[in-house]
Amino acid sequence: MNRLKLIAVAIAVSFMGTAFAQDEEPQNEGYNFTVVKEVKTTDVRNQSRSSTCWSFSGLAMIETELLRIGKPAINLSEMYIVRHTHSEKAEKYVRLHGNINFGGGGAFYDVIETIKKYGIVPEEVYPGLNYGEDIHVHSELDAIATAYVEAVVKNPNRKLSAAWKVGYEAVLDAYLGKRPEKFTWEGKEYTPKSFAQSLGLNFDDYVYVTSFTHHPFYSNFIIEIPDNWAWGSVYNLPLDEFAQIFDYAIDNGYSVAWASDISEKGFSYQNGVAVVPEVNLAEMTDSEKLKWTELSPREKDAMLYKFNGPGLEKKITQEMRQEAFDNYQTTDDHGMLIVGIAKDQKGNKYYKVKNSWGTSDKYNGYFYASEAFVLYKTMSIMVHKNAIP
């Protein structure tokens, strides 16, 4: 995910001019949200200029789970997860002769599997900022890491040496820091594994769910997205059953780690909302309908995506979801955390979403995604197994 590009596109769309005359515009009332139900979560973090939303959102869920079971708030190290994922991804890339996606992206599966295999540490133990910055800026690291593994795969010596792994680890050490073997936290010594055990969570309790028709329902399959380099499996449910998980989870105190596509005209960073608008022909006069049919696609988009208040949205079907996935209109784009249910001033349902882009936006690091948007653009979710009806 290119965060800056997404924000620029979202802002540009929100400022597009309208196609109809000014005196025909409805009043810009905006969106007014009332939170109906919300789970307690930790502070919003900032992934800054790194493609690590998957680590931030995955750990945001774990931190929220700790609050759910009565543990104190804690800031876990996203870069500890990134560090281990980088190593394993590089090894797989080389083993497959470069025939797999390589970059800064990842999936919720990587967070859980890393904790199970390598443990976890608090943020202050491993901030991952060894390169002279106060924020996460990974462009140079990503470029160097990619160039390194590509050079290894070219195999110029016609036989790989054992040194390439040592060299790659040295690159990660230089940028992110050496992995701690032991550390002291609140007066007690831990290893990363013993610290993970002390959290009191069973990391086998977290499951991954989606809803697509190109695989059988009620079965697991490896979801075909570029960032699923580890080939993690998801459980496939029909859309109506999949849709029930979101409310059931929130109503019972669970958050939902949410992988979705927000590179959409319906996502407005400036307005803090994500919707799937539909033209309301039923409320148009004959002259308005005629004018609508004469508009260009660009003009229609300008009318639909004004974000001047709640309006009609598309009714999402299983077929729509599948078509958007099949034709690349829905892609694996961003990881976030759903923490609440809200209503707008007209009673429409939304989900309150915790992002990882800092707190300088309209809702201090959160935005509201309509139910239609969530059902349409969700790639997959991660939830506690007891959050499934």
CATH number of the CATH domain containing 207: 3.90.70.10
- Report pLDDT for 15: 40
> What residues in the chain have per-residue pLDDT under 70?
1-28, 280-284, 286, 288-290, 292, 294
Residue 312, Cα to own-chain centre: how many angstroms? 26
Per-position b or e across 40-66, b if 16+ CB within 10 A of its CB: ebbebbbbbebbbbbbbbbbbbbbbbb
State the pLDDT at residue 18: 37
- Name the maximum alpha-carbon separation found in the chain: 74
* pLDDT at res. 321: 98
Q: What is the pLDDT of residue 290?
A: 65
Q: Which residues contact 315 (CB under 8 A, 6 or more apart)?
A: 372
- CA-nearest of 344, 342, 320 to 330 is 320
| pLDDT at site 27 | 56
Tokens of 3: 């965060």
Question: What pLDDT is attached to residue 281?
Answer: 60
Q: Give residues with Cβ within 8 angstroms of 153, minimum separation 6.
A: 93, 94, 97, 98
pTM score, whole prediction: 0.90
Domains contained in the chain, number: 1
How many other CB atoms are found less than 10 A from the CB of residue 185?
14
The pLDDT score that the predictor gives to residue 296 is 78
Chain mean position to CA 103:
16
Q: What angle do the packed helices 53-68 and 108-118 form, to 10 degrees? A: 70
Domain limits at 144? 3-387
Q: Is the dihedral of CA 259, 261, 262, 263 positive or negative?
A: positive
User: Tokens 């990974």 identify what position?
Assistant: 138
